[in-house]
Amino acid sequence: MTPAIEVRQVSFEYGPHRPVLTGLDLGVRPGTFLAVAGPNGAGKSTLIHLMAGVLRPQSGAVFLEGRDLRSYGVRDLARKVALVRQEFVPAFGFSVYETVLMARTPCYGQWGFESREDRETVARALERTDTARFASRPLGSLSAGERQRVFVARALAQDTPILLLDEPTSFLDLRHQVAIYDLLKSIQQETASTIVAVTHEINLASQYCDEALLLYPCRREGPPSAHPVSPSDYRIGSTREVFAPEEIRRAFGVGIFSGVLGSERFVLPLGERAKDANLLRPPDVV
């Protein structure tokens, strides 16, 4: 089967000697919910922006549904991929409804107005994300959790087979984190979308995602010219394999406590104090 997203030998650097991703190779099957995790600076956001076509790799290529991303026009691309980003600019008091409707901009008629079909798509997106209740409120008046659901709604209104999210649960409390993952899971199941979410919530991702990609930190010690750039170090596979406690410890360089609850495995980071306290039995600690 053609992968929904394929990353072939992709390298990206933000400047000379500042490589972020090197020779990355991976595929995401259609209908998969993939979590992308890893330490800060490992290139998670970079990867998702490369998949969305916002950034272009210096070498290698990204394929969407088997077609080179570079061959897509701006509009074609917007029909394939929707991106939910972290930043939010509270500009000019647009309402929730207006914000979600903006996803339909390229579909407007010649006089610059939306069609009935556009309005129906928006209504469905609002309904599904449970944001229809505050559709007429200004975006700036919402809580972070509500706002994040609105941005997911806007991505849904774009009506794309691929949905990319950059840390959709940052700034959210536990209840809202769960709510976002519930929402993404239901979207995946109802529409068979391919979803890729960058996240730091390893335990939630383990519960909800089918597969995980763990990016290990890039090694950048010493002068860059001293040694050739080694390929990016990463693991991709089922969440269970990739988020194994040893892998997490290696990626983040922090002690890990792991436990099992039913069929789910959980990991907790351990600070120095927890180890000193000697409260944990050795088999639990990796």
**Which residues bind to other proteins, rule: CB under 8 A?**
52, 54, 74-75, 77-79, 81-83, 85, 87, 89, 91-95, 97-99, 101-106, 108, 111-113, 136-138, 140-141, 154, 158
| Residue 236 CB partners (closer than 8 Å, separation 6+) | 26, 211, 212, 213, 214, 242
Shortest Å distance, C-beta 168 to other proteins: 15
Smaller CB separation from other proteins, 95 or 207? 95
H or E segment and range at residue 36: strand 33-37
Shortest Å distance, C-beta 132 to other proteins: 13
Measured CA to CA, the distance from residue 234 to residue 222 in angstroms comes to 22
Cβ(174)–Cβ(17) below 8 Å: no
Shortest Å distance, C-beta 285 to other proteins: 42
Shortest Å distance, C-beta 84 to other proteins: 9
Smaller CB separation from other proteins, 164 or 270? 164
Shortest Å distance, C-beta 148 to other proteins: 14
Smaller CB separation from other proteins, 96 or 212? 96
Shortest Å distance, C-beta 89 to other proteins: 5
Residue carrying the six token digits 């074609």: 76
Shortest Å distance, C-beta 56 to other proteins: 12
Smaller CB separation from other proteins, 166 or 211? 166
User: In degrees to the nearest 10, what's the CA dihedral of 187, 193, 199, 203?
Assistant: 60
Smaller CB separation from other proteins, 54 or 229? 54
Smaller CB separation from other proteins, 90 or 269? 90
| Residue 37 CB partners (closer than 8 Å, separation 6+) | 44, 198, 199, 200, 202, 205, 212, 213, 214, 215, 243, 251
Count CA within 13 A, CB hemisphere, residue 67.
10
Smaller CB separation from other proteins, 2 or 105? 105
Using CB atoms within 10 A of its CB, is residue 248 exposed (0-12), middle (13-18) or buried (19+)? buried
**Cβ atoms within 10 Å, residue 16:** 7
